[in-house]
């Protein structure tokens, strides 16, 4: 122990442990006292402040579940309102209406800012600062991949399930994020938390105009992304990276019936390119490639003057990225049909999400808190991408999949389990208390 000589502290250190913060009660380890020193030393005052905040959080915890139970109808009403607004990625007006619902639902105390991209899509950021501490980042998105469909345009109950467009990806997660904060606000535990919430409107397109909001969070303490949890109560620690492209091919138009010269068909060249992309798939699944959309040509008796394909490649290992990109560029540059010309455009990109030591620690906190709430949370490595990839790329410890449990995204069967909507709100609110405790005492 340090002595008070020369202003150095020898007071008894009450050190909360991380494990203790994730249980209902706090435990402390107190080393044997050294020679007595001033009772008002800075170290002791700091520990008293930590203890006071910890006890305040302990008092808040029992109320969180009750607040959620008392507000279930309001929670469901928010979800229904969001799901019933079509916010397909090509529908800026619908995306912005959902964004306004989020703005109105957020608890007080946050400074709100909004930016718009060239398409008029709004991205929302809510910030609450506390004592200069680095923020905890909470992230959701407003857009979906569900185009307007009169047969599937409303939230409906189906036994224990809630079905609707975008309910799983990810309006259910948006509601979990918002109501975890509202629950903390109602029990008086939110105001001292440094939190930045990001709701972007172009996530399903690859966040081409909003990814800087996430990479700009470098230095944040932690990040939680509220994409859906897996059906078996998982959260996401690892995601693939993706590079998504559009390839345009120019041929030479001609009437096929009267053709006297060499045929320069953009569609014929496209066929070669499709097979080249599909050949990128590796047997060990370390790289996966897919052509998802094609178009081209005029009629059966016309030589195609142009053809287009949209495709992507995904990979787990960041070390594979240079070789994957090089293979794509070589494929685009090599034309099989003499006279055809190809041009490659990158549509979007996300780096792989790979957990470091701090993210592993965050995962362990989530598992421990879930266990205390009766949940058996496990780890998922997900092939899909999200804005968690950008946060991880910026060096922020991040875990994804904090939303409710569901499946069948982008289909008329999309659903979440109703009970997990409320359970994940309780998990997230309690987890934020855990992270606040670690923030107050980084050595814990």
Match 């020898």 to its residue by tokens: 10
Contact between 190 and 428 under an 8 Å Cβ cutoff? The reply is no
Looking at residue 16, its pLDDT comes to 39
Give me the tens of pLDDT residue by residue for the chain, a chain 444 residues long: 333 344 444 443 333 344 344 443 333 333 444 444 445 565 555 555 555 555 556 678 889 999 999 999 999 999 999 999 999 999 999 999 999 999 999 999 999 999 999 999 999 999 999 988 999 999 999 999 999 999 999 999 999 999 999 999 999 999 999 999 999 999 999 999 999 999 999 999 999 999 999 999 999 999 999 999 998 999 999 999 999 999 999 999 999 999 999 999 999 999 999 999 999 999 999 999 999 999 999 999 999 999 999 999 999 999 999 999 999 999 999 999 999 999 999 999 999 999 999 999 999 999 999 999 999 999 999 999 999 999 999 999 999 999 999 999 999 999 999 999 999 999 999 999 999 988 655 444
CB 121 within 8 A of CB 92: yes
Per the CB < 8 A criterion, the answer to whether 190 and 436 are in contact is: no
Residues 6+ apart with CB under 8 A from 302: 253, 254, 255, 256
Specify the pLDDT at position 131.
84
Q: What is the pTM of this model?
A: 0.84
**291 neighbors 274 (Cβ within 8 angstroms):** yes
């Amino acid at each position: 122990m340090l002595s008070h000589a020369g202003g150095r502290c020898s007071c008894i250190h009450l050190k909360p442990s991380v494990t203790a913060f994730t249980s209902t009660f706090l435990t402390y380890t107190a080393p044997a006292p050294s020679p007595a020193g001033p009772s008002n030393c800075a170290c002791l005052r700091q520990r008293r402040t930590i203890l006071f905040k910890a006890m305040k959080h302990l008092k808040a915890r029992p109320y969180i579940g009750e607040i959620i139970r008392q507000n279930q109808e309001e929670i469901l009403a928010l979800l229904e309102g969001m799901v019933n607004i079509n916010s397909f990625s090509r529908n800026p007006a619908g995306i912005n209406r959902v964004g306004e619902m989020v703005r109105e639902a957020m608890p007080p105390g946050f400074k709100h800012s909004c930016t718009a991209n060239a398409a008029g899509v709004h991205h929302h950021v809510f910030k609450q600062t506390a004592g200069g501490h680095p923020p905890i980042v909470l992230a959701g998105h407003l857009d979906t991949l569900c185009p307007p469909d009169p047969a599937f345009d409303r939230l409906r109950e189906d036994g224990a399930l809630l079905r609707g467009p975008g309910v799983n990806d990810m309006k259910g997660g948006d509601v979990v994020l918002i109501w975890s904060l509202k629950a903390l606000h109602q029990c008086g535990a939110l105001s001292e938390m440094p939190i930045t919430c990001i709701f972007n409107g172009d996530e399903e397109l690859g966040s081409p105009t909003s990814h800087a909001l996430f990479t700009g969070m470098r230095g944040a303490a932690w990040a939680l992304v509220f994409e859906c949890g897996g059906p078996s109560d998982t959260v996401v620690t690892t995601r693939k990276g993706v590079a998504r492209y559009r390839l345009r091919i120019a041929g030479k138009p001609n009437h096929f019936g009267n053709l006297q010269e060499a045929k320069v068909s953009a569609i014929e060249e496209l066929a070669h390119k499709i097979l080249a992309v599909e050949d990128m798939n590796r047997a060990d699944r370390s790289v996966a490639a897919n052509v998802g959309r094609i178009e081209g040509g005029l009629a059966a008796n016309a030589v195609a003057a142009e053809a287009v394909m949209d495709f992507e490649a995904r990979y787990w290992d960041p070390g594979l990225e240079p070789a994957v990109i090089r293979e794509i560029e070589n494929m685009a540059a090599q034309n099989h049909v003499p006279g055809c010309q190809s041009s490659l455009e990158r549509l979007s990109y996300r780096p792989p999400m790979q957990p470091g030591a701090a993210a592993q620690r965050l995962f362990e906190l989530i598992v421990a808190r879930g266990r205390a709430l009766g949940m058996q949370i496990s780890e998922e490595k997900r092939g899909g991408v999200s804005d968690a990839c950008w946060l991880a790329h910026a060096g922020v410890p991040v875990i994804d999949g904090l939303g409710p449990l569901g499946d069948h995204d982008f289909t008329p069967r999309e659903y979440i389990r109703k009970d997990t909507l409320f359970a994940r709100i309780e998990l997230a609110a309690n987890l934020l208390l855990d992270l606040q405790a670690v923030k107050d005492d980084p050595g814990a």
